[in-house]
């Protein structure tokens, strides 16, 4: 329940809101706020939905993601490193506000250290990045 412990500490407009969790035996359940517009990858990589995001919305989304990351890295109680930022982990609410989600690989950065050596993290993929037109 690393994700629940980390998210219980943070409150920010651009971080998905954890409403509750249950860890009963082997069953583990996280309950998040409802986010109406699915994840960013659905709009970037689906040719039918790509046109729904104009350049102003795209700009606002990237600024929101940057604000969320800045909060995690500098302004939260502890420095949190997400380690798996990608379009499918950015949820869009009904007003297209981005919410950083999926903190399963996230780690706390020790406050007394200026750098930490770790292994490479993130979602593994066996496919090359897809090309798409904007």
Q: Give pLDDT tens digits for 82-115.
A: 999 999 999 999 999 999 999 889 888 876 665 5
Let me know if residue 132 belongs to a domain.
Answer: no
Q: Given 41, 60, 75, 84, which residue is catalytic?
A: 84
What is the reported pTM?
Answer: 0.80
Query: Is the residue at 120 inside a domain?
Result: no
In a domain, 129, yes or no: no
Q: Is residue 130 part of a domain?
A: no
Domain, as residue range, for 96: 2-109
Q: Could you give the residue ranges of the DSSP H alpha helices within 14-133?
A: 41-44, 55-70
For residue 43, what are the CA distances in angstroms to 32, 37, 86, 101?
21, 9, 13, 16
Residue 128 has which token pair?
């090359």
Query: Is residue 63 situated within a structural domain?
Result: yes
pLDDT digits (tens, 9 = 90+) for 8-36: 878 999 999 999 988 899 998 999 999 99
- Least Cα distance to 90 among 38, 132, 12 occurs for 38
Residue 93 annotated to the active site: no
Per-residue model confidence (pLDDT) at position 4: 82
In a domain, 64, yes or no: yes
Q: For the chain, what is the domain count?
A: 1
The C-alpha atoms of residue 65 and residue 73 are separated, in whole angstroms, by 12
Asked if residue 75 is part of any domain, the answer here is yes
Rounded Cα gap, residues 14 and 65, in angstroms: 7
- Here the CATH number for the domain that contains residue 70 is 1.10.510.10
């Amino acid at each position: 329940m690393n994700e629940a412990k980390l998210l219980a500490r943070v409150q920010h407009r651009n971080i998905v809101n954890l409403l509750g969790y249950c860890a009963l035996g082997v069953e583990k359940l996280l309950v998040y706020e409802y986010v109406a517009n699915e994840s960013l990858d659905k709009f970037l990589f689906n040719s039918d939905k790509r046109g729904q995001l104009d350049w102003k919305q795209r700009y606002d989304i990237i600024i929101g993601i940057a604000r969320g990351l800045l909060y995690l890295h500098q302004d939260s109680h502890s420095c949190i490193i997400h380690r798996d930022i990608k379009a499918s982990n950015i949820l869009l609410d009904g007003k297209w506000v981005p919410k950083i989600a999926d903190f399963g690989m996230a780690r706390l950065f020790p406050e007394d250290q200026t750098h930490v050596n770790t292994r490479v993290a993130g979602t593994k993929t066996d496919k090359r990045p897809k090309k798409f037109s904007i």
